[in-house]
């Protein structure tokens, strides 16, 4: 990222992930090496940053959010490992490096993904630094499990694969994106909101609204970057969506209207943050970064 604040979040979650991930010298070494490769490589750490920035907006000590930030990043990393597999998106490059199954092998990539998901739940159940109230933690686990289940992220990926090469309406595309990317973005914000002992119901509503708008804007921007970006900058193969006849916002609406829609959603997200005043400065920076990134 580019701003010191956001870089700080990134370093913070990387240090926490490094602590939670088993060392590569611990058996089974090959599996642990693959897990670390999939998680600790270059990456924007958008979801942890959303979690921490929401925490800053609510005045939560950030160590309480290391667990949730790790959990959402682990879920994100596992989903990339599985989505990149030959039977799914069949991608060779991710974040500028060989995908996990290219670097290791398919069996190891499948198992590493499985183990990353299990670790995410272990952290939420086990991290002593997290919010103390066990009932709140159960609520957090339920939220994450729902977000990454068959009616959340995994369901979105399933529908996305099924839609390849077929004509699709904007409402269907939104339905897919809300699940495939939106659910985990939303969860990243709401895990932080749940970690606050003082947040009001109204504050949570505002954050929830912001999360929904920015989640969709983020995915539209991803679609736009697939058209406008090049492989070197993206760190993954550009133009893949078009090549595979994937439904995208630029494909359905045209490039310029898609860019305008992303900006409009971004604007709405910023408006939802107004009541938080200066405390939401990191969240605003992050929303701006997500709109103006080139990868």
Q: Which residues bind a second copy (CB under 8 A)?
A: 22, 26-28, 30-32, 35, 78, 82, 85, 87-88, 105-108, 110-115, 117-119, 121-122, 124-126, 133-135, 137-139, 141-142, 144-146, 148-152, 154-155, 157-159, 161-162
**Pick 28 or 254: Cβ nearer a second copy:** 28
**Pick 175 or 289: Cβ nearer a second copy:** 175
DSSP conformation letters of the chain: --SHHHHHHHHHHHHHHHHHSPPTTSSSHHHHHHHHHHHHSS---HHHHHHHHHHHHHT--GGGGHHHHHHHHHHHHHHHHHHTSTTTT--SEETTEE-HHHHS-HHHHHHHHHHHHHHHHHHHHH-TTS-S-HHHHHHHHHHHHHHTSTTTHHHHHHHHHHHTTS---HHHHHHHHIIIIIHHHHHHHHHHHHH-SS--HHHHHHHHHHHHHHHHHHHHHHHHHHHH--HHHHSS-TTHHHHTT---HHHHH-HHHHHHHHHHHHHHHHHHHGGGGGGGHHHHHHHHHHHH---
**Pick 87 or 201: Cβ nearer a second copy:** 87
**Pick 116 or 291: Cβ nearer a second copy:** 116
CB of 246 to a second copy, least distance (A): 14
Q: Within a 13 Å sphere around the CA of 18, how many CA atoms are in the beta-carbon half?
A: 8
CB of 205 to a second copy, least distance (A): 22
**Pick 84 or 226: Cβ nearer a second copy:** 84
Q: Which residues, including other chains, have CB under 8 Å from residue 148's CB and lie 6 or more apart?
A: 75, 79, 117, 154, 183, 184
**Pick 111 or 207: Cβ nearer a second copy:** 111
CB of 184 to a second copy, least distance (A): 12
**Pick 65 or 224: Cβ nearer a second copy:** 65
CB of 8 to a second copy, least distance (A): 29
């Amino acid at each position: 990222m580019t701003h010191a604040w956001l870089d700080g979040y990134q370093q913070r979650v990387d240090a926490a992930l490094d602590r939670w991930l088993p060392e590569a010298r611990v058996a089974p070494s090959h599996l642990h090496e693959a897990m670390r490769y999939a998680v600790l490589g270059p990456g924007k750490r958008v979801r942890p940053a959303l979690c921490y920035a929401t925490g800053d907006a609510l005045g939560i000590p950030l160590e309480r959010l290391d667990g949730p930030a790790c959990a959402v990043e682990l879920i994100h990393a596992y989903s990339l490992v599985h989505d990149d597999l030959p039977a799914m998106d069949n991608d060779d490059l991710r974040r500028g490096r060989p995908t996990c199954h290219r670097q290791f092998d398919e069996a190891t990539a499948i198992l590493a993904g499985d183990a990353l998901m299990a670790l995410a739940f272990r952290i939420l159940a086990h991290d002593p630094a997290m919010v103390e109230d066990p009932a709140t933690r159960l609520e957090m686990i339920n939220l994450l499990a729902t977000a990454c289940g068959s009616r959340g992220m995994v369901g979105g990926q399933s529908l996305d694969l099924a839609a390849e090469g077929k004509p699709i309406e904007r409402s269907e595309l939104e339905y897919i994106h809300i699940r495939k990317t939106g659910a985990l973005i939303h969860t990243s914000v709401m895990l932080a909101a749940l970690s606050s002992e003082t947040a009001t119901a109204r504050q949570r509503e505002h954050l929830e609204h912001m999360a929904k708008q920015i989640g969709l804007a983020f995915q539209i921007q991803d679609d736009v970057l697939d058209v406008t970006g090049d492989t070197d900058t993206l760190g993954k193969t550009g133009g893949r969506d078009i090549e595979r006849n994937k439904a995208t916002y630029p494909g359905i609406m045209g490039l310029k209207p898609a860019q305008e829609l992303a900006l409009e959603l971004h604007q709405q997200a910023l408006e939802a943050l107004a009541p938080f005043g200066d405390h939401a400065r990191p969240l605003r920076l992050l929303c701006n970064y997500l709109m103006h990134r080139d990868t």
